[in-house]
């Protein structure tokens, strides 16, 4: 790529990112509470509504994935982005998510280095869905009671308990975009 092509590509890319970022940031934030008690209440409502996923993951996988995230916030994430990423793009992304109270991420991408989702729960039976639900709910209850040092997030870096609470709520809400309630 010559200098002229690089400059043109850089200008177009910067313009597109600026326009897209400005449009996304200008959207009004969600006002639904995203504390642990509200997440548990929402989770309970989802489960009595016969949820069906319409993305790559089924509901049991989604709930396991969300449980992993909550558990790792207390125990430590298995893999991290670089420190440079966390203090630049990672913290900027979380600041935008926090201000909008809404997260957007790949809904079928596992947490880096996370244990594989339990294959026994992937058979999509009501029993397995109940187990995934129980694991996620217990992780939220454990997080609410946790008073130890929280592990840095693999992408966002150090978060307070309140920020983690919000992150877990936004994370679950984002995954619910691929869940239909019947």
How far apart, in whole angstroms, are the C-alpha atoms of residue 142 and residue 72? 12
**pLDDT per residue as tens digits for the range 104-159:** 999 999 999 998 886 555 555 667 899 999 999 999 999 999 999 999 999 999 99
0.85 cut: is pTM over it?
no
Q: What count of other Cβ atoms lies within 10 Å of the Cβ of residue 91?
A: 17
Q: If DSSP states are collapsed to H, E and C, what string results for the chain?
A: CCHHHHHHHHHHHHHHHHHHHHHHHCCCCCCCCCCHHHHHHHHHHHHHCCCEECCCCCHHHHHHHHHHHHHHHHHCCCCCCCHHHHHHHHHHHHHHHHHHCCCCCCCCCCCCCCCCCCHHHHHCCHHHHHHHHHHHHHHHHHHHHCCCCCCCECCCECCCHHHHHHHHHHHHHHHHHHEECC
**pLDDT per residue as tens digits for the range 73-92:** 999 999 999 999 999 999 99
Give the mean pLDDT of the chain.
86
How far apart, in whole angstroms, are the C-alpha atoms of residue 137 and residue 67? 8
How is residue 70 written in tokens?
């909550």
How far apart, in whole angstroms, are the C-alpha atoms of residue 119 and residue 64? 11
How is residue 71 written in tokens?
């558990």
Taking alpha carbons only, the member of 91, 67, 79 closest to residue 157 is 91
Q: Which residues neighbour 90 within 8 Å (Cβ) at sequence distance 6 or greater?
A: 81, 153, 155, 156, 157
Q: What is the pLDDT of residue 116?
A: 84
Taking alpha carbons only, the member of 143, 148, 72, 82 closest to residue 110 is 72
């Amino acid at each position: 790529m010559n200098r002229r092509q690089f400059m043109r590509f850089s200008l177009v890319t910067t313009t597109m990112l600026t326009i897209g970022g400005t449009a996304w940031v200008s959207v009004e934030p969600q006002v639904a509470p995203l504390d642990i008690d509200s997440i548990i209440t929402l989770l309970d409502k989802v489960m009595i509504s016969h949820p069906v996923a319409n993305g790559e993951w089924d509901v049991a996988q989604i709930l396991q994935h969300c449980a992993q995230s909550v558990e790792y916030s207390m125990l430590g994430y298995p893999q991290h982005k670089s420190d440079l990423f966390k203090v630049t793009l990672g913290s900027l992304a979380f600041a935008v998510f926090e201000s909008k109270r809404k997260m957007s991420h790949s809904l079928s991408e596992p947490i880096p280095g996370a244990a594989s989702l339990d294959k026994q729960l992937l058979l999509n039976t009501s029993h397995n869905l109940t187990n995934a639900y129980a694991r996620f709910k217990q992780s939220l209850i454990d997080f609410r009671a946790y008073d130890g040092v929280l592990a840095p997030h693999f992408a966002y870096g150090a978060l307070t308990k309140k920020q983690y609470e919000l992150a877990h709520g936004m994370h679950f809400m984002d995954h619910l975009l691929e869940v239909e309630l019947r």
